[in-house]
Chain A
Amino acid sequence: MTSVSDAVVLPSAEPSLLRRPRATTGFWSWFTTVDHKKIGILYGATALLFLCLGGIEALLIRTQLAQPDGTVLTAAQYNIAFTMHGTTMVFLMGMPLAVAFGNYLVPLQIGARDVAFPRINMLGYWIFLFGGIFIYSSIFLGGAPNGGWFGYTPLTSSPISAGVLPGRGADFWAVGIVMLGIGSVTSALNFIVTILNCRAPGMTLMRMPIFTWMMLVTAFLTLFAMPPVTAALTMVFFDRNFGTTFFDAVKGADPLLYQHLFWLFGHPEVYILILPGMGIVSEVLPVFSRKPIFGYQVVVFSGIAIGFLGWGVWAHHMFATGLGPAALTAFGLSTMLIAIPTGVKIFNWLGTVWGGSVRFSAAMLFCLGFIAQFTIGGLSGVLHAVVPSDTQQTDTYFVIAHFHYVLFGGLLFAMVGGIFYWFPKMTGRLMDEKLGKWTFWTMVLGFNLTFFPMHIVGLEGMPRRTYRYGSGLGWDVPNMIETVGAYVLSIAVLLFVVNLIVSFRRGQPSGDDPWDARTLEWTTPNPVPEYNFAEVPVVASRDEAWHRKYTEDAEGHLVRLPRGGADSGTAVATEPVSGKGAPPAEQGGGGGGGHGIHMPSPSYYPMILGAGILAFAYAAIYHSLLLCTVGAIVVLFAVYAWMLEPGTEPA
């Protein structure tokens, strides 16, 4: 129960098919690592790269729309730009960035030494990376995706020969997302098993940090949301390539079925994206207010409620499709319902800050920005629940404003705040606070300049996904403002990236616990050793790290405990037995640096298996039996060798 490693110390006589990789440091170790922290950083770095790509696409879109009848892009290029922007930001930036945080933090927050399935964890990363490369490779291989990130049928499902959507873009898109879905499901399963089975003694569910709670809810949502979209996209691919008629109205099929399947994934997806952000905010606010989260149980349960209700609202993306008044009523009401737990969270966050001792660090500013901007996005969401008014707003710029307030003003602000907050844990250095505050205010300005006018221009009748618009409709000025805002926003992102690089190289050393934080990850030394905790911590309370430092007097005011702690009943596991600053990276897989801790050893097979799946993906595009055979051989080899390979190689 305490950690994966204790269970699987097998004296392996079985020879591996490939010589086991040994390196746990250096460049090549990143290809074979199974350390959740390194994998987390891989996810994060890759997601930030895709953020930049998606951002460039957004800038192209905004440059095209700066003026009426823009000529920067052709219609075909514009359609690719918005399709790739959406696909990138949802599948290649938003989800992986959440998984990055989850990977790095969940084991640390629950007192585990790694995730439950370290190699599957790495497999998830490779599939994500290869899936991203696969989708982007379409640009050089006969047409990038151009059917929208939602890919409505029959536009996307018409046979290639019908010429409705020229090029193989929609094929790359469908296969790529199915592939990314495999990666998402592996990481979701891993989170669920890790959180349910690998908690340290005393870490009951209701003592878990809220971020970990939200990752658990997110993982369940991912697990159940990926199948419908996988089914839908498989049908799209078959319709395009193999003459099936799943969505062909002429043959009696109903193209609307696709929309149901897609949004049955697509709406939970929204919560898959936002719940980790809410988790981050729920971690950061208490630390910088020096108060516990207000109403822990309510914050947790409202997160779970959002997760459940998220399954009953998908048709609010379809209010203009002619569902009939009964269905419209049902989905309108269920959508309103989801505003209640969301509102509860916002009020509880304000309750957390209320009466605190607030330090305006960059991390805190971004999380306060989250609350403000997410509120705007949440309330414009309520206007969508008002079905008749949604029939005016849907598919206009009003909707773009709404979900960017939720996903950019919300999710991305929380993620950036989270990076400022956890950067010291990941690197042992602080990010530059002054530059961070500049980043925050530039981003607030750029963000609101870009997206606030979209509310208005949408209500003034400007539809989405249009590569040009005529002048004389009153849209010219707001569109110009939006474009200026987009450039301001890109300056903010640039400042952030510069901060990341500079702080990584020359940032001020942070010490183990620079923020006087509350959760277990801050009890580990910096840099965090491969095994996280030399001794598995015994948890006595919620906010365990905090209660090792502080207690409350009779009036509830904080009182600092003398060093060494009054709660000496719980093992103080911050320091390895051999003393602080034990070598972080042990030579030889499974070496515990004299602690007798056997960590899972690095492995080639996740990467090889991922490459086999990539070969399958290209085989699907080119209908190539050869590639398919290659893929099958690689996959079979990787799976077979993986099975023979012991989790931990004796040192």
Chain B
Amino acid sequence: MVKLRARCIIVGDAAVGKSALSQMFRSDGGHFQKNYSMTAGVELLLKSVNIPETSDSVGQYIFDSAGRETFVGACEKMWGQPSVVCVVFDITSLASFNSCSRWLERVRAHCNGLQVPGVLVGNKSDLSSRREVEAAVAQEWAQSQGLQYHETSAKDMENCDAPLLSLAQAFYSLYQDRRQMIQGLG
């Protein structure tokens, strides 16, 4: 049995639903916060994710980081060295999608050149009638950046466990990879 630990940084524009998603991650889809409350700093949540078909798990230290520009500088100082990254946008806001590359760059600047597994999350999939970002477009950009793409609705509790699970699996396979490599060294 192995328990890995990962620092998971969640970023994206203000009001795309990062905190609602984080709460979903933590409560296994049990809690949707209906009222908007702006995150002014970083909120830390802890969630253990089991790796299917093993007895292993990844403890995710989720850093839900403010999206409002005013607070970003202060938040970045809390990130430390990220293990995995989750970039969130709102599928009804093209502007929030266009910001994703800037968010990703910001996080990668803290990674000391390390390979950091990541996901792109298109949130608010319940509002598909107001969709401004096609899934295919998001998928393509995600792929070009080495990210896995997921669409979620924190409100409808739709697919909310997928992003964290895919991050946990990616981090887990990175661990297995390194373990085997080191085994060959001794």
Asked if A pairs with B, the answer is no
B residues apposed to A, CB below 8 Å: none
